Amino acid sequence: MANRFSTERFAQIFTKWREIFVADIGAGRKSVALNAILSLDDFEKKARRHLPGPLFGYIAGASETNASLRNNAQSFTEYAFRTRVLRDVSKRSAKTTLFGRTYDAPIGIAPMGISALMAYRGDIALATGAAEAGIGMIMSGSSLIRLEDVAAAAPHAWFQAYLPGEPDRIDALVDRVANAGFETLVLTVDTAALANRENNIRAGFSTPLRPSLRLAWEGVSHPRWTIGTFLKTIIRHGIPHFENSYATRGAPIIASNVMRDFGKKDHLNWKHLERIRARWNGNLVVKGVLHPDDAAHAVEIGANGIIVSNHGGRQLDATMAPLDALPGIAERVGRDIAVMVDGGFRRGADIVKALALGADFIFVGRPFLYAAAVGGEPGVIKAAEILKTELHRNMALLGVTSLEDISPDYLFRIGPQQHTIPHG
Ligand SMILES: Cc1cc2nc3c(=O)[nH]c(=O)nc-3n(C[C@H](O)[C@H](O)[C@H](O)COP(=O)(O)O)c2cc1C
């Protein structure tokens, strides 16, 4: 705390504000230089400096001890590549078709709530950046921009819903999403209870944000975010609200005494999925599956895809990594529906590993939100280009020309073998 309010710190902050007014605004500069960004992890370093501490902490953090988060990162190190050589790989392509649409690569942006607090019009920057880069994007149900506005800006983005076990609310939101023209609805199912995000409390983050001296200081000490995202949003669009949790407008993002309405999420069950399937004519995807039996149940009900996911480690702590759940699920339902996965993907090499283990499509979360925060839509496009380039290069070095060629034969398991835990 002493350090936070030192004379030196004040001098640094004064210099930042001066730079913004003299160098950035004076010179008409709108966004940060992206040339120095070489990998997705570079966005995180920039975002850590750019965003107020509580907001960065909200994105970066997970739940309780962060064990799920660590498992996700660790799971990629369990596999090494076994390459093939002397094959002409000059005509390689990472293009893929999913639900009738062709993408430049089997990559999409995972749904992330309150993106518009991190980046100016964040959901739109993510959606249009993804469309421009030829990758997929799922907008979050916990978003601060009306789903109709995102659909208008990026007609092929998908919509992710958090639904409570309340039929009236389910029907109303499903109808609203359909009327907006979305083709694909993603139902997130790993949030039966609010996660224990101690790190958010320690970092001073909550939804809604509670006005405090600490928060005001964060704004003063992060002027680029304050001017370029926060004030710009308030001046042009008013105080952001949760726009799409249900069919009607929800709580504001900043309020001293308003509580968010999370509905009866712990009532949600397979019967509700059946109800959604009966009402929703588009593609239906279930996100947050880790067990092959649940994947099979989703197939029986008529889902078109599943996302193998532990919510980026942000729900139940100490879950298995999605990459470790993937082979069993792909083996069980891979021929019946699209098997997608997310959690910890940061490199083209990570994507190749998931493809080899049976994934059809891979979603990436945090790095894209950091990219949008520091670079807006151009940042999102840059992040997508980095991943696509890495994937393309890795395909050549692996000795494959199409995604279909990528099989377990290219992997060597170096991590600990799985132990079977007896039932009962
Ligand atoms: C800031 C943030 C907000 C998120 N919000 C949502 C959300 O609204 N809906 C959802 O289904 N998943 C949400 N997630 C989880 C992501 O969709 C995804 O499962 C996870 O971030 C993937 O892991 P990665 O960040 O390591 O790539 C969120 C994740 C982050 C980091």
Q: pLDDT tens digit string along 262-276?
A: 889 999 999 999 999
Rounded mean pLDDT, 156-161: 98
In eight-state DSSP terms, residue 403 is G
Strand runs labelled E in 26-106: 79-81, 96-98, 101-103
Do you find a cis peptide bond into 378, omega within 30 degrees of 0? no
In a domain, 221, yes or no: yes
In a domain, 130, yes or no: yes
Q: What is the pLDDT of residue 424?
A: 45
- CA 235 vs CA 163, 227, 228: distances in Å: 31, 10, 11
Q: What is the pLDDT of residue 28?
A: 58
User: Ligand 1 in contact with 344 (CB < 6 A)?
Assistant: yes
In a domain, 418, yes or no: no
User: Could you tell me the distance, in angstroms and rounded to a whole number, from the CA of residue 312 to the centre of ligand 1?
Assistant: 6
CB-based burial of residue 17 (10 Å sphere; 0-12 exposed, 13-18 middle, 19+ buried)?
middle
In a domain, 25, yes or no: no
In a domain, 68, yes or no: yes
What tens digit of pLDDT does each residue of 26-40 get? Answer: 565 555 689 999 999
In a domain, 107, yes or no: yes
Domain harbouring 220, CATH code: 3.20.20.70
Q: Which residues are catalytic?
A: 311
Rounded mean pLDDT, 86-97: 98
Strand runs labelled E in 234-365: 283-289, 305-308, 338-342, 361-364
In a domain, 23, yes or no: no
Q: What is the pLDDT of residue 24?
A: 64
Q: Range of 80's domain? A: 37-413
Q: What is the pLDDT of residue 147?
A: 98
Percent of the chain that is helix, strand, coil (3-state, to 5): 45, 10, 40
User: Could you tell me the distance, in angstroms and rounded to a whole number, from the CA of residue 137 to the centre of ligand 1?
Assistant: 12
Q: Is 339 helix (H, G, I), strand (E, B) or coil?
A: strand
Looking at the 3D structure of the chain, how many domains does it have?
Answer: 1
Query: Using CA positions, which residue lies closest to atom 20 of ligand 1?
Result: 312
Q: What is the pLDDT of residue 422?
A: 61
Q: 424 or 277: whose pLDDT is higher?
A: 277
pTM assigned to the model: 0.96
User: Could you tell me the distance, in angstroms and rounded to a whole number, from the CA of residue 419 to the centre of ligand 1?
Assistant: 29
Share of the chain above pLDDT 70, in %: 94
In a domain, 20, yes or no: no
User: Ligand 1 in contact with 222 (CB < 6 A)?
Assistant: no
User: Ligand 1 in contact with 122 (CB < 6 A)?
Assistant: no
What tens digit of pLDDT does each residue of 207-243 get? Answer: 999 999 999 999 999 999 999 999 999 999 999 999 9
What tens digit of pLDDT does each residue of 111-127 get? Answer: 999 999 999 999 999 99
What tens digit of pLDDT does each residue of 366-407 get? Answer: 999 999 999 999 999 999 999 999 999 999 999 999 999 999
Identify whether the C-beta of residue 333 lies closer than 8 Å to the C-beta of residue 297.
no
Kindly report the average pLDDT of the chain as a whole number: 94
